Amino acid sequence: MINRISSFVNIFTKTVRQWTMVCFAVMIFVNITSAQTPGKISGTVTDATTGEVLMGCNIILEGTKMGAATDADGSYYLINVSPGKYNLKASMIGYQAVIQQDVIVNSGKTTKADFVLKMSALIKEAVIIQATRPDVEKEKTSTSTIIRADDVAALAGMRDVSDVIGMAADVSDGHFRGGREGEELYTLQGMGLVNPLNSTTAFMPIMSAVEEVEVVTSGFGAQYGNAQSGVVNITMKEGKADKWRTTGEFRQRMPTLKHFGSNVYDPSNMRALSAFLQDSTWLLGTDPENPTSFFGSYGIKNVLGNDTLVQLAAAKAIWLKQTKRDLNRKYGNEMDYSFEATAGGPLSDKMRMFLAFRSNVSYPTFPTEEPDKQRQIMGNLVYDLGKSATLRLIGGYAFEKKNTFPSYSALGFYNFLFDRIQSINYEQNENYQLGLKLSHALSQSTFYEIKLNTLTTYNRTGSTTAPLNIPDSLINFKKNQILWSYLLIGPIASPEQFTYMNGRSNFENERTQTISLEGSMTSQVNKSHLLNGGLQFNRYKVTVNDRVKTRTDSGGDIMNYTAEPYELGVYVQDKMEFEGMISNVGLRVDMWNTNSKTYTNTFEPYKKTLEKIYGHVIKNDVVVLDSNTYAYYNPDSADSKKAPIIARLQPRVGISFPVTSTTVFHANYGSFLQRPSFQYSVSTRVQQGSNKPVILGNPRLEPQVTYSYDLGVMQGLGEGFTLDVSGYYKDVKNLIESADFTSYTGLTYTTYFNRDNADIRGFRIALSKKKGNVVGSLTYHYSVATGKSATSNFAAPVFTQDSTGAVTTNNQKVPARDALLSFDRTHNVILNLAFVTDEGWGPSIFGYNIFEQMSISTSAFARSGRPYTSPSNPKLIFGARTPAEYNLNLKLVKRLDNFLGVKSTWYCEVFNVFNNKILNYNYIFAPTSAISPSTVATRYESVGLDDPNAGIRYWNENNIPLNDFAVDQLFMLYSNSPRSFNFGVSVEL
């Protein structure tokens, strides 16, 4: 089998070599928004006795075909080194060889590795020393955090990249240094992971497949485009050439409720349920002064012989057996579990591979038909094309099927809690990436890379009650309308206010494909200059077929469109390394075209016509042909023109000043722009039937731009301690904001413009310790983020045109001056601390050290609450704050080198150790617009949480007291989960 693979690869290699120079001449590359930079190793070799430099010493990177020889100055360098952990060997005739173990190479960084050789007339075994990471990173031209998988293995809950990102104090709730969500770029092996439709991440790679994660929040290089606030550069593990390595891990969550409060199906917790278990309620209601019978709720009044007692008994029986089947249901006794496995090693002398797999099953907060399921597969195949070239095939696949609860943060439980079939949507995501990367060294100092990549995202959302195939008799083809009322039963009101058959039913079918081609060249032109430049090209295809509805039995809006935009990026960067300064200076140009048309009449984009239609309807159970005249908005008759091509230039510079071996000053400046995601530029949402515009994208949107300034110092304190202090300022321009347009003809719709700005400033103090039995970090981040709106749909102006063409503007929803953004957190403190014992540590009991190779770690945060507009002072927009938030997790790990013949690791994780509660911002505090305080916040401030008559625990968002039919809503007042326990075991083969 291996021989066949090798034969195929040889043939494939010849073809690749023939086309390589053609592709390189064109210089078109993978992913305009991605470029992973290999690392570099450099150093000097000296004589241990004389201290003189040694010329001609051989430097070999073990496990690879990479090597170098020292020059007349005793210096050497290795470029194009994939991030990872290596053994580095220095050897020379007449000297004893030295091997530095575990030399760590980071993406885009230079690792310093100096050697001191002793003279020896005899051939001796090489001296093996442990490489040490310097306390101070001299190459501090950007503000970044590099997290290796080994560094976080001892911390609780480190499952995928999203968990690791949460360790950075200047990243909070998905916002990088005060930027909006979606302003960051994620790359895997230098290939983009971003869904171009909405700027979300296609999938988060599992940590068992990850070598390192670099989180850059300021000063990222010119090779990164389409990112304003941050870059997350993910490097995947690769198989080793010496032998196969296999790991397996199983973890399980102990059964417990995932929400605060008691069982919601227990009548003792809900007066709405316990009251209707009494016959007197059905007969007289709950208010003695105003008796009201409920036994007629199901249409049985004055039937059953007009016997009142029989009628109430029948109504109660229907209530119990049909609409309250879940009464006294038990839940929270299910166990979440997951399994992970990795395998990597050589397939032949020239080929090696790596695979990682995870399957995860978790149960939602409330019972559903099926649990949430996740599967992810990642892998790569590396083939050495001789000494100077390497071909990599990289792939990733992620599948997720989850339950979506409608309006859980705004009393939606009145619909889904007792109707878990029709009122819960099911979302299925399938995303996969496949890339080909060729790296070819033209000399020791020059190499080029060519990448071909495809990223596909597929999202489908709907309800199980929706039929997959609709007969033609139930479709009005002219109006593109499904006659839902003949398919689905309408909502049924229940006497205790719960509703049945009221499914939300947003039916979504969205698919994107990104095909990318990229090429770059890197050359160490001399000791001081490392030049890198390239071209990046992306071609997109976005297909959306959504039906957005309020109920399954009613009409709604249609989003049905296809777009094929493209974009091109060109960059050049010079990394200059001198004795007293290291700098990265770059220049980037981005250009894109939505490849669509834009309407010239903003107030009347579509023209209205009167048309006669013929359709099928059902009358008296018979399908008949029906005709009528209706208003139809025809996009084909609208005045339009081709959307413009947009291009922008972005200069970037980062400088590091190593004053001493323990002190480094650093500064960076950059212009970072982001193309608007396609949901804002090419989307179309119209009313079902009339085709009346509801939301239209704007292909003329300009890029959102951030001008970022950063200044700081890193100081080594000795004993492995490092202090890093940096301050920053971000001036954000051209943020996207929605705007409503109303024509005198009655047409009202929403579109988007570059109308918003933001002003963000702050500083970060990070104290870390990387050596010894106690390791960890303490990071404090202070920030202030202000602007008009935290999202694109929060402060929309309204433009109205009268019959004369005059336009009036209503800015009622737009704050008069900048205010704190709703996601701002003034203070954020993150602590990660681990105590790790060595082999043989602790007392020996019967010859066994039970405390050796153990670790206990904690990860905790303390942060300010989020801003909100207080109803007591609504003119001070976002002038109040929610309570501060706290959390602490623990993890206990025990490693056994020989458990049934294999290495194993056993661990226990405790989440939310102190049962801290975090208030649900989206339910209690979130306003409908920037100037409209939350109605629930009014009750929260005036009464509080637990007042039995007026507290928000028993009070809904419409200010209706629930004294008679009270539901204990404690489960929706907090956004986090109570204390929980995980147990797991992993093995290594």
Q: Which helix (H) or strand (E) holds 14?
A: helix 2-26
Q: 426 Cβ partners below 8 Å, 6+ apart?
A: 401, 402, 403, 404, 461, 462, 463, 464
What is the reported pLDDT for 277? 87
Judge whether residue 218 has pLDDT over 80: yes
Between 417 and 521, residue with greater pLDDT: 521
Judge whether residue 248 has pLDDT over 90: yes
What is the reported pLDDT for 7? 46
What is the reported pLDDT for 713? 93
Closest to 492 (Cα-Cα) out of 410, 415, 409: 415
What is the reported pLDDT for 382? 93
Whole-number Å distance between alpha carbons of 390 and 677: 34
Mean pLDDT of 770-794: 92
Judge whether residue 671 has pLDDT over 90: yes
Judge whether residue 95 has pLDDT over 80: yes
Q: What percent of the chain has pLDDT over 90?
A: 51
Q: What is the pLDDT of residues 924-983, one digit of tens each?
A: 998 877 778 888 888 899 888 888 777 888 875 544 544 566 778 888 899 999 999 999
Helices (H), 36-75: none
What is the Rg, in whole angstroms, of the alpha carbon atoms belonging to the chain? 32
What is the reported pLDDT for 307? 82
- Check: CB of residue 275 under 8 Å from CB of residue 967: no
Q: pLDDT confidence of 35, banded at 50, 70, 90?
A: very low
- Check: CB of residue 180 under 8 Å from CB of residue 734: no
What is the reported pLDDT for 554? 56
Q: Number of H helices and number of E strands within the chain?
A: 10, 54
Q: Cβ of 525: how many Cβ atoms within 10 Å?
A: 11
Q: What is the pLDDT of residues 713-722, one digit of tens each?
A: 999 998 889 9
What is the reported pLDDT for 723? 94
Judge whether residue 166 has pLDDT over 60: yes
DSSP code per residue over 354-372: EEEEEEEEE--SS--SS-E
Judge whether residue 485 has pLDDT over 70: no
Helix (H, G, I), strand (E, B) or coil at 163: helix
Whole-number Å distance between alpha carbons of 78 and 109: 12
Mean pLDDT of 329-352: 94
What is the reported pLDDT for 242? 85
DSSP code per residue over 528-590: SEEEEEEEEEEEEEEEEEEEEESSTTS-EEEEEEEE--EEEEEEEEEEEE-SS-EEEEEEEEE
Mean pLDDT of 409-434: 82
Between 580 and 183, residue with greater pLDDT: 183
Q: What is the pLDDT of residues 172-217, one digit of tens each?
A: 888 999 999 999 999 988 888 999 999 999 999 999 999 999 999 9
What is the reported pLDDT for 22? 35
- Check: CB of residue 585 under 8 Å from CB of residue 576: yes
Q: What is the pLDDT of residues 885-923, one digit of tens each?
A: 999 999 999 999 888 889 999 999 999 999 999 999 988
Tell me the CA distances in angstroms from 620 to 484, 486, 615, 957, one per residue in order: 17, 12, 16, 42
Q: What is the pLDDT of residues 686-714, one digit of tens each?
A: 988 788 899 999 999 999 999 999 999 99
Mean pLDDT of 153-173: 90
Q: pLDDT confidence of 141, banded at 50, 70, 90?
A: confident
DSSP secondary-structure letter at 655? E
**In the predicted model, what is the mean pLDDT of the chain?**
85
